[in-house]
Structure 1
Amino acid sequence: MSASSTVVFTASVAAAKPDFSLLLKRAVGAHVIHSIGIPPSIRRMRGMRRGGVRCEVSTDPSMKDASDSRVSSISALEQFKALGTDRYMKERSSIAVIGLSIHTAPVEMREKLAVPEAQWSRAVGELCNLNHIEEAAVLSTCNRMEIYVVALSWHRGIREVMDWMSKASGIPVSELRDHLFMLRDGDATRHLFEVASGLDSLVLGEGQILAQVKQVIKIGQASGGLGKNIDRLFKDAISTGKKVRTETSISSGAVSVSSAAVELALMKLPASYSLSASMLLIGAGKMGKLVIKHLSAKGCKRIVVVNRSPEKVDAIREELSDIEIIYRPLSEMLSSAAEADVVFTSTASEMPLFLKEHVESLPPGSQRSGGLRLFVDISVPRNVGSCVSEVETARVYNVDDLKEVVDANKEDRLRKAMEAQTIIAQELKSFEAWRDSLETVPTIKKLRSYAERIKSAELEKCMQKMGEDVLTKKVRRAVEDLASGIVNKLLHGPLQHLRCDGSDSRTLDETLENMHALNRMFSLDTEKSILEQKIKAKVEKVQS
């Protein structure tokens, strides 16, 4: 079952190297020429979800009828049956993550690939519609953009996801490769557990990332876009993240990008004026609220907040009584910036709010900031254009510059990370045991179904021999219970040897050997059946 197994083709298919995408295209007709769906002239996409695509079917009379599609589907499945030695039969679907983060790519690259939360469901739908992708999830924050998938084929699946990222961002694949990381199976699982635990964050133990991982589950469940593997993966990651924070001191100190931003701003201001400097915040979202909280905790007494509407600012004001919060509308952003020594920006705007010409028109900073105006931009995409750095009286800092703050106390950070890794290793073992157990589920179902069919057939014969005059309800129930009892006792041993959940010393290899033996003895043909189900689901998804 190893994904790296080499498969030797029989003479009948010696030269054949069937491509899943090719067979899928044949199954839905020659008019399907793109891997992400059906051309608009045939179907108009209205929404996407795993297991199906909701479409409005065109009344174009040139379309083939449903029976033709079913014939094509059957034809494609028959081709797969004939090519039973194809490598897809021997590969286990891989869990993979492909993406980039603050550790691998500059903010200029990350902002081009960023997917707003409101578009996560759409992105998942497009990814699941790729030929070799069964399940998908998108985690896009200011520090990372990562795509988690369950891929029928590791190499082809990753290639399709890279092509999707390139198309979505406009960045050539050749340029993307220099910044992407790709992890598979256990490494991919460990990575997400580390992300949820705050080990991969700019600030060790950051709490906001756990909330963002939770949001992936919330959005995925609402849209129906999560499959059982991705769903379990993210739920276990959330559980691991909570456990790490509960059992270690990883969250002590500065634990968010917002807190690091405040630390950086106060570090750059003259020490004697750091708390009296005029503070301005653009955006009152989650990260903006954290900026206010951390400024208040540091002793800052007043901040001006520019936001589209006053409701969020009013809510923050009610919650935080130790700091004076003054609301200004978005139309007064530039005039408010003219009065500020430090400008924090934290909005979801996809276009810069401050450009060189805007900042050049502002007066110099006050004495409190040494005649400079500090822009601390914690948004991705950035709210402050890089051109602002060319203004002599301005200093611009973005999320990449926060490393200066979080590089302190490396020894303490490493100690906490090692404690967390012990917990992650335990949770990783549990998840892998659960996933390994899925290997044998189809065989368990087929074996029980096989036994139930025999039981039903033999019961029917027995009842006919006994005659209706003998078959009272009590007798019938007793005979049925007897048959069920015999079947359950006979199946108990084989089914126990098909379970691999980490509760005993049996290894996965032993369990899989048992599975293959039962498949041969009872002609269950599980592997081929699994593949046929996957291919059929893909064919029906594109046709629906």
Structure 2
Amino acid sequence: MAAALGFVTSLAVNNCNNSQQKLKMEFCNASTIPDSPFLSSKTRFFNNNLEVKNVISETRSLTLNPRCKVASGSASKAMASSLSALELLKTSAADRYTKETSSIVVVGLNFHTAPIEIREKLSIPEAQWPQAIGELCALNHIEEAAVLSTCNRMEIYVVALSQHRGVKEVTEWMSKISDVPVPDICRHRFLMYNKDAAQHLFEVSAGLNSLIVGEGQILSQVKQVVKTGQGVPGFDRKISGLFKHAITVGKRVRTETSISTGSVSVSSAAVELALMKLPESSHATARMLVVGAGKMGKLVIKHLAAKGCTKIVVANRTQDKVAAIQEELKDVEIAYKPLSEILACAAEADVVFTSTASETVLFTKERVQKLPPVSSEVGGRRLFVDISVPRNVGSCVSDLENTQVYNVDDLKEVVASNKEDRLRKAMEAQVIIEDEVKEFEAWKDSLETVPTIKKLRGYAERIRASELEKCLSKMGDDLPKNQKKAVYDLSVGIVNKLLHGPMQHLRCDGSENRSLSEILENMHALNRIFNLDTEISVLEQKIRAKIEQNQK
């Protein structure tokens, strides 16, 4: 077993510095999955991130317990096995963690790679993001985390102490909270590391990776990740820095390019789709029902009003949001109804838009089939346009006669018409994104020197304090305070002047004319000269600490 593990480890070490960031899953010893090789997945995103090719090899089905709660006995056994595996790893390949550095990793599914049937099961409500961050960071190889969950994507961003083990742990966690088997997640997920992960998030924030290129709502959702993560343990320096930089990129792209000009949102595309399916003569008279008055619902109402719809019924839990919309759109007849009356409202509607955060289906086949038929003036079919994830309308509702159901994946029909124009605008944005990725990478790499700076300063401070104590003891207890202070100031001044040169060679803030590679070389040299590295690498220490903490 140790020999096999050593072979796997050597493969991982040989690949850890691969500049192309090839996506390779490591076959590792996992006590929670006996005799089960993990799955490998490669996902390639082209420059505009609008075309995705997945090549997936699947070897064996895996089944995990649902909902992230593991019995204490099995948990202890798993963690003990993890520690045992770590001991084997140390004896078979002692420099494994020394050569590997922590990585930014994104494990995600979006409308490019996964159907809504999978995405809705993995969707995490915003209120649960902090809890998800805590659970992710409790995993053995995850140090920081963030969740970006929208109607079109579910993406987990982490700082992993080991790329392959981190991906494995995140994938299993996603399976546990969703009841989606690991092989199904692997079949639809995409993986990106470090520079590629940063570029992907920047493209997401800029609207390049959206169903509708240039749409603005995704930027506000990225902002919400930062707002929700503030003060949450695990949403720390690297991940928060990544998302804050993504917000800057999103703003810059929209300011310096025309990508947002004429672009539409998911809500407006939903309205366009509904009107495409209705006879043109009925656009002004069709009876519209909007279920949900949140951000998406409000935009649906606004777009309906802009298209000339004058009678709209809004079903919502409370009346406050609807009253605010009524005040804003005084020329449109907007009626409020409580959610408890949605079936009665649907019976009188020709088109039903749903955009709530409900995790249960609001319109089932049994309920919809009891609704009266609609007039032939609107085509004789009642339309359900469901832009919620998870879905509010059961998929089997479309089996009913004279009923048609559309969801967010069906909006591609609307956006296909002006795709070429948006792609040209996207290319303008790519130039900006490439510059911003380089800037972020320089900032991230500069963090690598921080531990060395702290260790060198601590090393010098210990020597200074020790020698100062010896000197003062020799000078006697009756030494005046002003002379003690003078000696103390002298010792501090000497240390600061001696450290000034080395510290300057570690600075990575752009104030010095040194390349990043030179600065990192200086860092490694100082580590060797002053023997600053500990016997056990920093990464291994972190992993050991996490495993031991979980065993308590």
| TM-score with structure 2 setting the length | 0.82
The match for 2:330 is: 321
Q: Which amino acid aligns with 1:494?
A: P
Pair 1:538-2:516 in alignment? no
Q: What is the alpha-carbon distance in structure 1 between the residues aligned to residue 207 and residue 387 of structure 2?
A: 18
1:429 to 428, 438, 445: 438
Distance 1:83 1:480, change over 3 A: farther
Pair 1:508-2:516 in alignment? yes
Q: CA deviation at 1:450?
A: 1.5
Q: Deviations over 1:407-458 (max 9, x none)?
A: 2222321222122222222221221111111112111111111122222233
Pair 1:234-2:240 in alignment? no
1:203-352 to 2 correspondence within 5 Å?
203-352=212-361
Pair 1:109-2:113 in alignment? no
Q: CA deviation at 1:528?
A: 3.5
SS in 2 for 1:230: helix
1:379 to 367, 388, 394: 388
Q: What is the alpha-carbon distance in structure 1 between the residues aligned to residue 145 and residue 30 of structure 2?
A: 18
The match for 1:401 is: 410
The match for 1:525 is: 533
Q: Which amino acid aligns with 2:458?
A: S
Q: CA deviation at 1:534?
A: 1.1
Q: Is the 8 A contact 2:161 2:543 kept in 1?
A: no
Q: CA deviation at 1:147?
A: 0.8
Moved more, 176-185 or 353-362: 353-362
Q: CA deviation at 1:326?
A: 0.2
Q: Is the 8 A contact 2:283 2:308 kept in 1?
A: no
Pair 1:448-2:457 in alignment? yes
Q: Is the 8 A contact 1:444 1:495 kept in 2?
A: yes
1:104-183 to 2 correspondence within 5 Å?
104-183=113-192
1:489 to 494, 497, 504: 497
Instruction: Mark the runs of 5 or more structure 2 residues left unpaired by the alignment.
Output: 1-9, 16-25, 32-67, 77-82
Q: Which amino acid aligns with 1:366?
A: S
The match for 1:415 is: 424
**Identity rate of aligned residues, in percent?**
67
Distance 1:490 1:449, change over 3 A: same
Q: What is the alpha-carbon distance in structure 1 between the residues aligned to residue 72 and residue 405 of structure 2?
A: 45
Q: What is the alpha-carbon distance in structure 1 between the residues aligned to residue 412 and residue 343 of structure 2?
A: 29
Q: Is the 8 A contact 2:369 2:400 kept in 1?
A: yes
The match for 2:101 is: 92
1:196 to 205, 217, 221: 205
Q: CA deviation at 1:92?
A: 0.6
Q: What is the alpha-carbon distance in structure 2 between the residues aligned to residue 431 and residue 413 of structure 1?
A: 26
Q: CA deviation at 1:527?
A: 8.1
Distance 1:176 1:123, change over 3 A: same
Distance 1:80 1:459, change over 3 A: farther
1:476 to 481, 484, 491: 484
Moved more, 523-532 or 411-420: 523-532
Distance 1:457 1:291, change over 3 A: same
Instruction: Mark the runs of 5 or more structure 1 residues left unpaired by the alignment.
Output: 8-16, 23-35, 44-62, 64-73
Segments ≥4 residues shifted beyond 6 Å? 19-22, 74-84
Distance 1:272 1:3, change over 3 A: farther
Q: What is the alpha-carbon distance in structure 2 between the residues aligned to residue 453 and residue 385 of structure 1?
A: 67
Q: What is the alpha-carbon distance in structure 1 between the residues aligned to residue 290 and residue 551 of structure 2?
A: 50
Q: Deviations over 1:193-249 (max 9, x none)?
A: 111111111112222212222222222224333122111111111222122222222
Q: What is the alpha-carbon distance in structure 1 between the residues aligned to residue 29 and residue 527 of structure 2?
A: 25
| TM-score with structure 1 setting the length | 0.83
Q: Is the 8 A contact 2:285 2:309 kept in 1?
A: yes
Q: Is the 8 A contact 2:294 2:321 kept in 1?
A: yes
Moved more, 498-507 or 121-130: 498-507
Q: What is the alpha-carbon distance in structure 2 between the residues aligned to residue 411 and residue 509 of structure 1?
A: 40
SS in 2 for 1:167: helix
